[in-house]
């Protein structure tokens, strides 16, 4: 005899697959948006990177400042003459920053007066920041060089004006820089199983009751827990499927950057995919169970949708908190669902090694939650107020 | 055979069923007749084990509902008040799902589906999805689904509700056929004509208690009325509204 749990599982999956509209919606909403966002963000960032790596300044009145031009040429900087309507261009965002040299620059420079240049920019545009900082840096470097030369000419050690000498040494590996960008993938890894399991979790509980098919279903000689287990397995399957496809989409999206400068930032290949799946599947078991438990209290599909949307908000809040409070890794986080996964997945992206124990704790907590939910829902399915609704 | 003894059910302050006792024997059609809100549906739900009685007991073929609910459900084919179908599945799949849950082999499910579809005039609908079905068509599928395992005891809660004349007649034929096969058929209705046209025994329920029991003629005679309808009105207290 076939297991009755499997019969329920197969029926629910078949039923869900026939709902083309919802299936397509879930597919589109979760599987495409994530990787698409990654590609767009990547493009944007690689644009920034390019802007920053090719040294280029735009100058108005370069003929007035031969020493500055000389300095920039020595520093291998492309000098471009800015168009006359540069102010308007900066406003509409087609130009980032322009150095304006006054006609009296050279005269004052030779006299040793402060020779003013004007740096024109619009700092409300984040994408201009790189160019602005670059122009500032170059002007400061020119200042320092000129000042040093003048001090030496007067027989003063240049060390006098540089009390502290700052040497930069950035310990972040390219991968770790990438992890900052890739908060996106853990977020989707956590939310996609919820979106993927939601329809089934609601349809098999509140939906079943709204349709009037719950009472006849429970009148079959099958213990409620076998039915609930089958429904939960169906929700878990759907959640896992959507999560797997979403993460695979990220692998494909990240592969677009292979060979480019940004490839080092976008390291999300099949090994990382495998680790992510190992963490996300147990989490999906828990979220599917929680969604079912919440939805069981809904009298109608819509009511259950409202309840579960609170849960989704709560869950999407956790990674945000982790990101914005700059939480450091600690053991206690691993027993908190969602937060535990979020922290460890970020570590995966940072390229840190993950041990079996790192996996075990969050997975064990997630499965415990899942089975508790299944047990509670099974009990509720035997309660008159749940089966026949409250009035 | 279904036996009900001094069944009572209280929901908070509401006493839905106070004192219901009757026996529905095999090979007979027993009608549970009463006005809306008399406690018929609650009584049937207690028989189907989905509602636990506050007092009293019910048994199906000698199996007590409290002691062995799954055993009772196995012996019962129940058309409940809620009879929703899965609209994305075909009629055949809806029926087969319950057959599988009851552990029937595929061949038995197919044979049973063919037989019931023939009786209920469902054959041309079997492989269509049920979302476009009329109320009568949905009812027929729900009945076939409830009887896929060829149960010895059949409980139908207001099966003719909302059906047109043709479908009602087809359903009556099915119920008679089931009786002739020796099954115990118990069905509820608030329509007196429905019950009197079909039943061997009538149990009249009002305000959660049995007020009369017997074949139509006995009930009419005992009430001292000229017609069964007058008897029904008198017995259920529809005349004197209780305060």
The reply to whether residue A219 touches residue B48, judged by beta carbons under 8 angstroms, is: yes
Q: Which of A211, A218, A221 sits opposite B50 (nearest CB)?
A: A218
- Partner residue facing A223 (CB), from B48, B70, B81: B70
Q: What does the pLDDT read at residue A391?
A: 40
- Cross-chain residue pair B89–A388, CB shorter than 8 Å: no
Lowest mean pLDDT among A184-193, A201-210, A304-313, A317-326: A317-326
Each residue's pLDDT tens digit, B87-125: 999 999 999 999 999 999 999 999 999 999 999 999 999
**Nearest C-alpha in B relative to A389:** B82
Residue of A nearest to B41 (CA): A388
Mean pLDDT of A124-144: 81
Stronger pLDDT, A302 or A252, i.e. the higher one:
A302
Mutate to test the interface with A, among B52, B72, B80, B86 (most CBs of A within 10 A): B86
User: Chain B closest CA to A1's CA: distance in Å?
Assistant: 6
Q: Of B232 and A366, which is predicted with more confidence?
A: A366
The predicted pLDDT at position B202 comes to 93
Q: Which two tokens stand for residue B137?
A: 């068509």
Compute the distance between CA of residue B3 and CA of residue B23 in angstroms, rounded to an integer: 5
Chain A nearest-CA distance from B222, in A, is 37
Q: In CATH, what number does A55-169 get? A: 3.40.1710
Exposure pattern of A322-348 as b/e (b: 16+ CB <10 Å)? beeeeeeeeeebbeebbbbbbbbbbbb
Average pLDDT, chain A: 84
Which residues in chain A touch residue B146, judged by CB atoms under 8 angstroms apart?
A: 216
Taking residues B153-163, report their average pLDDT: 91
The confidence band for B172, taking pLDDT boundaries of 50, 70 and 90, is: very high
Please give the Cα distance from A38 to A30 (Å, whole number).
Answer: 13
ipTM: 0.92
Domain ranges in chain A are 4-45+175-387, 55-169
pTM recorded for the entire structure: 0.80
Query: E-assigned strands of chain A?
Result: 56-60, 78-81, 97-101, 117-121
Contacts of A1 in chain B (CB under 8 A): 103
- Residue B114: what pLDDT? 96
Average the pLDDT over A114-122 and give the result: 84
Determine which of A6, A7, A220, A225 to mutate to test the interface with B (most B C-beta atoms within 10 Å).
A220
| Contact yes or no for A216 and B80 at CB 8 A | yes
| Residues of B within an 8 Å Cβ radius of A | 45, 48-52, 70-71, 73-74, 76, 78-89, 93, 97-98, 100-103, 129, 142, 145-146
Cα distance from A15 to chain B (closest Cα, Å)? 6
Question: CB–CB of B82 and A214 under 8 A?
Answer: yes
Do B185 and B175 touch, CB atoms closer than 8 A? Answer: yes
Distance in angstroms (rounded) separating the CA atoms of residues B204 and B80: 19
Interface residues on A facing B, Cβ-Cβ cutoff 8 A:
1-2, 4, 7-8, 11, 14-15, 18-19, 208, 211-223, 384, 387-388
Between B101 and A169, the higher pLDDT residue: B101
Distance in Å, alpha carbon of B195 to nearest chain A alpha carbon: 24
Name chain A contacts of B51, Cβ cutoff 8 Å.
384, 388
Nearest Cβ partner for A213 among B52, B74, B84: B84
pLDDT digits (tens, 9 = 90+) for B201-211: 999 999 999 99
Residue A206: is its pLDDT beyond 80? yes
Q: What is the DSSP letter of A27?
A: I
- Would you say residue B242 has pLDDT above 50? no
Q: Which of the two residues, A335 and A56, has the higher pLDDT score? A: A335
State the nearest Cα–Cα gap between B100 and chain A, in angstroms: 7
Residue A193 tokens read as 């199983």
Cβ-based contacts of A225 with chain B (< 8 Å): none
Residues A219, B74: C-beta atoms closer than 8 Å: no
pLDDT (0 to 100) of residue A179: 54
pLDDT at A297 over 50: yes
DSSP string, A53-74: HS-EEEEE-GGG-HHHHHHHHH
In chain B, which ranges are E strands? 2-11, 14-24, 28-33, 55-60, 63-64, 76-79, 153-157, 184-189, 201-206, 209-214
Chain B residues whose CB is inside 8 A of the A15 CB are 86, 88-89
Top pLDDT among A135 and B128 is at B128
**CA quadruple A119, A124, A130, A131: dihedral sign:** negative
Give residue A269's pLDDT.
Answer: 84
Distance in Å, alpha carbon of A204 to nearest chain B alpha carbon: 11
Partner-chain contact B83 A216, CB within 8 Å: yes
Please report the domains of chain B, with CATH numbers, ordered by start residue.
Answer: 2-82+152-235 (3.40.50.300)
Give the residue from chain A lying closest to B147, CA to CA.
A220
Are the Cβ atoms of B82 and A8 closer than 8 angstroms? no
Among A7, A211, A219, whose Cβ lies nearest the Cβ of B50? Answer: A219
Contact B57, B65 (CB under 8 A): yes
Residue of A nearest to B148 (CA): A220
Neighbours of B190 (CB within 10 A): 18
**C-beta atoms of B82 and A1 within 8 A:** no
State pLDDT tens for residues A315-363: 988 877 777 777 777 788 888 888 888 888 888 887 788 888 889 999 9
Residue range A82-90: average pLDDT?
84
What residues of A are in contact with residue B145 (Cβ under 8 Å)? 216
Give the minimum alpha-carbon distance from B229 to chain A in angstroms, rounded to a whole number. 32
What's the rounded Cα separation, in Å, for the pair A68 and A99?
Answer: 11
pLDDT at A368 over 80: yes
Give the gap in angstroms from C-alpha B234 to the nearest C-alpha of chain A: 31
- Report d(CA B44, CA B155) in Å as an integer: 7
| Predicted local confidence at residue A188, as pLDDT | 87
Query: Residue B47: helix, strand or coil by DSSP?
Result: helix
pLDDT value at A262 more than 70: no
Residue B104 has a pLDDT of 95
Residue A234 CA to residue A285 CA, distance in Å, equals 10
CB contact under 8 A, A4 and B101: yes
Q: What is the DSSP letter of A83?
A: P
How high is the mean pLDDT of chain B? 91
Q: Smallest Cα–Cα separation from A245: which of A11, A33, A22?
A: A33
């Amino acid at each position: 005899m076939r297991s009755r749990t499997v019969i329920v599982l197969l029926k629910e999956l078949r039923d869900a697959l026939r709902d083309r509209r919802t299936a397509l919606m879930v597919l589109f909403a979760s599987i495409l948006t994530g990787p698409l966002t990654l590609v767009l963000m990547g493009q944007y960032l690689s644009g920034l990177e390019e802007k920053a790596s090719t040294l280029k300044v735009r100058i108005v009145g370069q003929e007035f400042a031969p020493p500055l031009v000389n300095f920039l040429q020595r520093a291998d900087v492309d000098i471009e003459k800015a168009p006359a309507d540069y102010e308007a261009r900066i406003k509409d965002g087609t130009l980032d920053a322009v150095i304006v040299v006054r006609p009296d620059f050279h005269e004052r420079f030779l006299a040793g007066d402060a020779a003013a240049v004007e740096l024109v920019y619009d700092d409300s545009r984040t994408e201009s920041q790189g160019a602005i900082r670059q122009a500032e840096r170059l002007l400061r470097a020119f200042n320092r060089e000129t000042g040093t030369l003048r001090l030496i000419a007067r027989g003063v050690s240049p060390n006098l004006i540089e009390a502290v000498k700052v040497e930069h040494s950035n310990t972040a590996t390219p991968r770790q820089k990438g992890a900052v960008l890739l908060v996106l993938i853990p977020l989707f890894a956590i939310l996609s199983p919820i979106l993927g399991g939601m329809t089934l979790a609601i349809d098999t509980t509140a939906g079943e009751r709204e349709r009037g098919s719950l009472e006849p279903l429970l009148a079959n000689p099958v213990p409620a827990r076998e039915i609930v287990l089958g429904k939960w397995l169906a929700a878990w399957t759907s959640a896992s499927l959507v999560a797997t496809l979403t993460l695979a989409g990220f692998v494909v999206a990240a592969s677009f950057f292979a060979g480019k400068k940004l490839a080092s930032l976008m390291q999300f290949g099949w090994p990382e995919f495998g680790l992510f799946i190992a963490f996300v599947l147990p989490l999906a078991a828990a979220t599917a169970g929680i969604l079912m438990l919440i939805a069981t209290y809904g009298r109608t599909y819509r009511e259950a949708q409202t309840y579960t949307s609170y849960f989704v908000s709560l869950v999407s809040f956790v990674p945000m908190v982790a990101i914005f409070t700059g939480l450091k890794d600690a053991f206690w986080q691993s027993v908190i669902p969602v937060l535990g996964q979020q922290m460890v997945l970020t570590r995966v992206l940072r390229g840190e090694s993950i041990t079996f124990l790192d996996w075990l704790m969050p997975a064990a907590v997630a499965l415990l939650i899942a089975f508790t939910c299944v047990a509670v829902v099974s009990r509720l399915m035997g309660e008159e107020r749940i089966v026949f609704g409250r009035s | 055979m279904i036996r009900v003894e001094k069944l009572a059910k209280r929901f908070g302050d509401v006493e839905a069923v106070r004192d219901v006792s009757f026996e529905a024997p095999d090979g007979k059609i027993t009608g549970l007749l009463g006005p809306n809100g008399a406690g018929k549906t609650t009584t049937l739900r207690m028989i189907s084990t989905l509602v636990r009685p506050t007092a009293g007991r019910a048994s199906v073929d000698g199996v007590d509902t409290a002691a062995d609910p799954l055993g009772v459900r196995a012996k019962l084919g129940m058309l409940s008040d809620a009879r929703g179908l899965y609209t994305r599945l075909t009629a055949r799949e809806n029926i087969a799902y319950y057959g599988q849950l009851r552990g029937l082999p595929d061949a038995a499910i197919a044979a049973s589906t063919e037989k019931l579809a023939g009786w209920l005039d469902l054959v041309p609908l079997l492989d269509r999805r049920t979302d476009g079905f009329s109320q009568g068509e949905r009812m027929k599928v729900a009945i076939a689904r409830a009887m896929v395992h060829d149960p010895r005891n059949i409980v139908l809660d207001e099966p003719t509700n909302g059906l047109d004349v043709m479908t009602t007649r087809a359903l009556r034929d099915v119920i008679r056929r089931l009786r002739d096969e020796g099954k115990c058929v118990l069905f509820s209705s608030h329509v007196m004509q429905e019950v009197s046209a079909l039943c061997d025994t009538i149990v009249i329920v009002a305000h959660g208690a049995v007020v009369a029991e017997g074949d139509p003629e006995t009930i009419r005679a005992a009430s001292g009325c000229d017609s069964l309808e007058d008897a029904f009105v008198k017995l259920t207290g529809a005349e004197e509204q209780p305060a």
